[in-house]
A = this chain, B = another copy of it.
């Protein structure tokens, strides 16, 4: 039983915390994306909404929220700003008037071609090989799923 193996003064050191590593990396990502997204006039959460719609257009607010794990309280103002930017439209669904269907405009769909260059920039900046980044991503996805399961 080595004494040094685990300091065990109950380890609350900031740099030991996985939660802070995640929190801090998330902010580093938004800082990294900021200048890239500035060219599109988007914030990072707005970009996430665009990613969802580029993948599947014509979703309801709720469907977008399910994908991003965000509620209407967050999404409604974001979608309104994207609508004002002329990137998407919002209209009540005919079949179910409670739902609002979000659709890309031509401009919104075209923006995708600029964004296609982004992933490579991440790989370059990260100074890691693709396999390591994929491993990191998969670990995070599993972690998120387990945390969500534990809190539910």
Contact = CB atoms under 8 A, between A and B. Distances in A.
- Give the size category of A's interface with B: 35 or more
| Chain A interface helix/strand/loop/mixed | helix
Contacts of A122: 18-19
Interface string A50-67: 011011000000000001
A53 B130 CA distance: 37
A45 to B, nearest CB: 9
A141 B25 CA distance: 7
Contact of A136 (B118, B125, B140): B140
A14 B67 contact: yes
B31 A19 contact: no
Contacts of A25: 22, 26, 140-141, 143-144, 147
A116 interface: yes
B55 A12 contact: yes
Contacts of A17: 51, 119, 137
Given A112-B12, A116-B10, A143-B28, A22 B22 contact: yes
